[in-house]
Amino acid sequence: MKLLRYGFAGQEKPGMLDSEGNIRDLSGVFEDISGAVLGDDRLEALRALDPDKLPLVSGNSRIGPCVGHVGKFVCIGLNYADHAAESGMKLPEEPIVFFKATSAICGPNDAVEIPRTSVKTDWEVELGVVIGKTAKYVSEEDALNHVAGYCVVNDLSERDFQMHRSGQWVKGKSADTFGPIGPWLVTRDEVPDPQNLAMWLEVNGHRYQDGSTRTMHFSVATVISHLSQFMSLHPGDIIATGTPPGVGMGQSPATYLKPGDVMELGVEGLGRQRLVTVAG
């Protein structure tokens, strides 16, 4: 099942993708796609609906972030061995954890703003995990039962802010529009193995990232279990699980985004994003 949110920014309505790729309106069923409707019981009730009996959304509506009212946007750093190597950093003994401000979240085809003083805005395609059931002190064996579904995340980063402006990575990760998510939330029953998904990213038609979740250092289950030892994960929280090699910082010479660039990216089975950069 593919869930999405459509409409003007800040006024998104809930929707479902039918078997023909059409958007069906869910606003008569519930108010929004957020933590309150991501538990197994609510998702099972949604699966029982006949999409053909839901109102068809006509026209080319904007696709918004696939989850609304996100409580936490948690990210994992250096989680792919080959990406750590291109960054000149050692693989961590435990997951590196940082946060993006939820105000960075935007839709999968929205304009991405390059911050006014940016000199090193970079891209990162990632597998996003959407929590569906509160996770606190969960085991790796039980961790995936707390997942509602998965989505595409672009963990945009300003490397100069991140590395050289003192403090935590959050400075380089949280600019407005630095967190495109979607186009849709794919429920976990349609993703039997999150550790076997191809992922890619292109800038202006050139493929920079071409990887797979197979090369994750810490698996999705390990990440969820680890995080749950330090904080409760709540329905609607999003985890960005790290990026494969091919980021701009790792190119020779390093290559960064400028206004007018077009990013296209996707994760197998989870859809794709198309993002044009603009000056902030």
pLDDT digits (tens, 9 = 90+) for 96-143: 999 999 999 999 999 999 999 999 999 999 999 999 999 999 999 999
Spacing of C-alpha 23 from chain mean position: 20
Of the candidates 182, 243, 128, 186, the one whose C-alpha atom is nearest the C-alpha of residue 6 is 182
Q: Which tokens is 146 given?
A: 């707390």
**C-alpha R_g of the chain:** 18
Q: Which tokens is 257 given?
A: 């985004």
> What are the phi and psi torsion angles at 31 (to 5°)?
-75, -40
Other CB atoms closer than 10 Å to residue 253's CB: what's the count?
Answer: 5
CA quadruple 64, 68, 71, 75: dihedral sign: negative
Confidence bin at 186 (pLDDT 50/70/90): very high
> What pLDDT is stored for residue 166 in this prediction?
83
All structural domains of the chain, each given as residue ranges with its CATH number in brackets, are 2-53 (no CATH), 73-279 (3.90.850.10)
Confidence bin at 84 (pLDDT 50/70/90): confident
Considering the chain, what percentage of its residues have pLDDT values greater than 70? 100
- Report the C-alpha gap between 268 and 265 in whole angstroms: 10
Spacing of C-alpha 103 from chain mean position: 14
**Total-model pTM:** 0.96
> What pLDDT is stored for residue 143 in this prediction?
98
Residue range 72-89: mean pLDDT, rounded: 85
pLDDT digits (tens, 9 = 90+) for 200-243: 999 999 999 999 999 999 999 999 999 999 999 999 999 999 99
- Report the C-alpha gap between 269 and 5 in whole angstroms: 18
Cβ neighbours for 212, distance < 8 A, ≥ 6 positions apart? 196, 197, 198, 199, 244
pLDDT digits (tens, 9 = 90+) for 11-66: 999 999 999 999 999 999 999 999 999 999 999 999 999 999 999 999 889 999 99
pLDDT digits (tens, 9 = 90+) for 154-164: 999 999 998 88
Helix (H), strand (E), coil (C) string for 168-223: CCHHHHCCCCCEEECCCEEEHHHCCCCCCCEEEEEECCEEEEEEEHHHECCCHHHH
- Cβ atoms of 57 and 24 within 8 Å: the answer is yes
Confidence bin at 83 (pLDDT 50/70/90): confident
- Sheet architecture: strand order including 198-203: 112-114, 272-279, 262-267, 198-203, 206-212
Q: Which tokens is 46 given?
A: 């949604």
Confidence bin at 89 (pLDDT 50/70/90): confident
